[in-house]
Structure 1
Amino acid sequence: MGVFHHFELGRRRLFVTLAAILVPIAVACSGDPSQAQTDPLPSWNDTAPKAAIVAFVEKVTTENTPDFVPEPERIAVFDNDGTLWVEHPMYTQLAFALDRVKAEAPSHPEWKDTQPFKAVLEGDMKTLAASGEKGLIELIMTTHSGMTSDEFQKVVADWLATARDPHFKRPYIELVYQPMLELLAYLRANGFKTFIVSGGGIEFMRPWSEQVYGVPPEQVVGSSIKTQFEMRDGMPTLFRLPQVNFIDDKSGKPVGINEHIGRRPIAAFGNSDGDLEMLQWTTMTGGSVRFAMLIHHTDAEREYAYDRDTEFGRLDEALDAAAINKWTVVDMKADWKEIFPKK
């Protein structure tokens, strides 16, 4: 009972936090009753991206027209980091991994002299960044393995219930984009099934995706580490191993979509070069009307401004591809009335 009891306590604490957040989100989404009936996207300015979204949805949902798409085929995929929630100054899951290193350090005295753990413990982000992908993968493998899937979900739930973004001083699960919450709801109201397709860990996102985004865990596609079935104390468990299983980023995203969803999406939403292949896979095909959107971070005052010159969420090749392929690009500063749900 021990592991599952503690896991349930962690889930309850997370759900209490989520409830406190989601009520104001629901209010923010509804706004004035008369407006809610006429405008499904109240946090979007009346600019070209909003018009493009509405026009696309109307096309694919209008029966007896050439562009009509039956509901089972209305699949929309969303990146997570930088598309649905904040990814600067670092990915939220990386912040989680860094906190895990600090929490576990007393049991690993050798980390004081071993990179990249030494850099984390000393707050040396320059050295950590210099360790590159290899160093970051080592951090993730070490801090995300050596436990059962249930134990890992409890660790994630506990961390999200207490962790705060250092810049906004708010829980990470509050730093979701209000316009994108409205977009998810709008698509689902029009017969779409919405999926998260992220480079982030699939088991890092699944414990909270439904409560925060309305996306159930079975509709989350992400990177994963290997797990194996074991009987522990007479109980069947899935044990997490320090080995990469699948990286759901860049060219891995179409592969993940094919393996987990089994249908090619008709709409895709991203914000970085890591989403390029997903947008290409969605739109560069014959048949029905297709839609692709990039979120361009241009609002340094309300959030962050970055694109081609950043380590996290670089938007370079995909931005050029958007112009060529006529994908919709959201200018956060110009196109969004609100960034985050109101407190």
Structure 2
Amino acid sequence: MASLIRRSLVIGLAVLAFASARQALAQTDPLPSWNDGAAKASIMTFVAQVTRDGGPDFVAPAERIAVFDNDGTLWCEQPIYFQFAFGLDSVKSMAATHPEWRQQQPFKAFLAGDKDTLAAQGEKGLLTLVAAAHSGMTTEAYATSVADWLGKASHPRFRRPYNELVYQPMVELLTYLRANGFKTFIVSGGGVEFMRVWAEKAYGIPPEQVVGSSGVTQFRIGADGRPVLMKLAKVEFIDDGPGKPSGINRFIGRRPIFAFGNSDGDQQMLQWTAAGPGARFLGIVHHTDAAREYAYDRQSKIGKLDKAWDEAVQRGWTVVDMAKDWKTVFAFERGSTGPSQ
């Protein structure tokens, strides 16, 4: 009996030790929401290569620049761009005081409920809507309106605040890169002032590391004597497609060594990153998970992935299959109450 008890005790201790070892291994995994596979391995191999001091591919910390598209890469972009949803809600509340909008695009399409025409307007249409809806407003008032909208609006499918629909695997990737000396930037076709309101809390990316499309602002002295910046109804810069490399050059001043996108609008940013010397990482998020998020690519009006996908396959870039490569899409799938930091 004594030997049986001792044998059971040994087995029990072995099981506990194995469980503890597995738990410790899981805790040291910097990308726990990623399934083991080629995509995860390519990321970790690249980071190891460029951070190995004395190695042939070592990159000094100052040169470790990583850029990420936002819509469809860091957070959801369906059924319409989230900033577009914000712009539409704003236009809806202001339409009664702007009768001329019924004859002007993209306002006409929105007021008529023409979703196809709205989608065809793309990023430029989005920025036109938002710029017009918020012209004559200070930048401070605009930031307040974005924060207020995020506090009360919810996604039509997920019934959650839009800023909870960030991709948990990409949040982990951003954290992992920063822990390895990278500086992470958003380079997006979305409005820079829209993203700066919430990006730091959602992704840990501060406002000065957000590059996006922008509208014209004008310095004025307000009625109370305080200096303000007024938003005008004019688009200054479109940070999409070929505009992304220009935005990187203008606002970052260093060519990235790591770039992630999800659509043809990111192709030039990926090409620009790939063209530099030394080790380079190019990644594309492919939306293949209709159950947990959405499945779309070549035929989509939002986040179309066609030419960039073909080039990724041809050149051996990393294509992340959302359904296969991600254990978790959103943090709330694991019972979280909000975006993970």
- What range is the shorter-chain TM-score in? 0.7 to 0.9
Q: 1:72 aligns with which of 62, 81, 97?
A: 62
Q: 2:36 aligns with which of 46, 68, 71?
A: 46
Per the alignment, residue 258 of structure 2 pairs with: 267
Of stretches 80-89 and 113-122 in structure 1, the one that deviates more from structure 2 is: 113-122
Change (3 A) 1:87 1:36: same
Paired amino acid for 1:156: V
Offset of residue 124 of structure 1 = 2.9
CA distance in 1, matches of 2:60, 2:125: 46
Which deviations, in whole Å up to 9, do the C-alpha atoms of 1:259-298 show, x marking residues without a partner? Answer: 1111111100000000001111111222x21101000000
Per the alignment, residue 15 of structure 1 pairs with: none
Point out the structure with max Rg over C-alpha: 2
Change (3 A) 1:180 1:136: closer
Q: 2:229 aligns with which of 238, 245, 265?
A: 238
Change (3 A) 1:115 1:277: closer
* 1:148-227 equivalences in 2 (<5 Å): 148-227=138-217
CA distance in 2, matches of 1:133, 1:76: 23
* 1:85-164 equivalences in 2 (<5 Å): 85-112=75-102, 114-129=104-119, 135-164=125-154
CA distance in 2, matches of 1:151, 1:303: 33
SS of match in other structure, 2:217: strand
Aligned residues of 2:83 and 2:126 also touching (Cα < 8 A): no
Change (3 A) 1:313 1:232: same
Q: 1:280 aligns with which of 271, 279, 287?
A: 271
Of stretches 102-111 and 75-84 in structure 1, the one that deviates more from structure 2 is: 102-111
Identity of aligned residues (%): 63
- Name the TM-score, length of structure 1 as normaliser: 0.87
CA distance in 1, matches of 2:294, 2:287: 6
Offset of residue 140 of structure 1 = 2.8
CA distance in 1, matches of 2:106, 2:316: 42
CA distance in 2, matches of 1:132, 1:84: 18
Change (3 A) 1:215 1:146: same
Change (3 A) 1:337 1:235: same
- 2:316 counterpart of 1:317: no
SS of match in other structure, 1:223: strand
Change (3 A) 1:173 1:35: farther
Per the alignment, residue 250 of structure 1 pairs with: 241
Change (3 A) 1:166 1:224: same
Change (3 A) 1:131 1:255: closer
* 1:26-37 equivalences in 2 (<5 Å): 34-35=24-25, 37=27
Which 4+ residue blocks in structure 1 deviate beyond 3 angstroms?
109-116, 126-138
CA distance in 2, matches of 1:299, 1:174: 18
- Name the TM-score, length of structure 2 as normaliser: 0.87
Change (3 A) 1:117 1:47: same
Per the alignment, residue 20 of structure 1 pairs with: none
CA distance in 2, matches of 1:33, 1:208: 33
Gaps of 5+ in 2: 1-21, 337-341
Of stretches 123-132 and 39-48 in structure 1, the one that deviates more from structure 2 is: 123-132
Offset of residue 208 of structure 1 = 0.9
Per the alignment, residue 307 of structure 1 pairs with: 297
Aligned pairs, number = 311
Aligned residues of 2:80 and 2:119 also touching (Cα < 8 A): no
Change (3 A) 1:125 1:71: same
Paired amino acid for 1:79: D
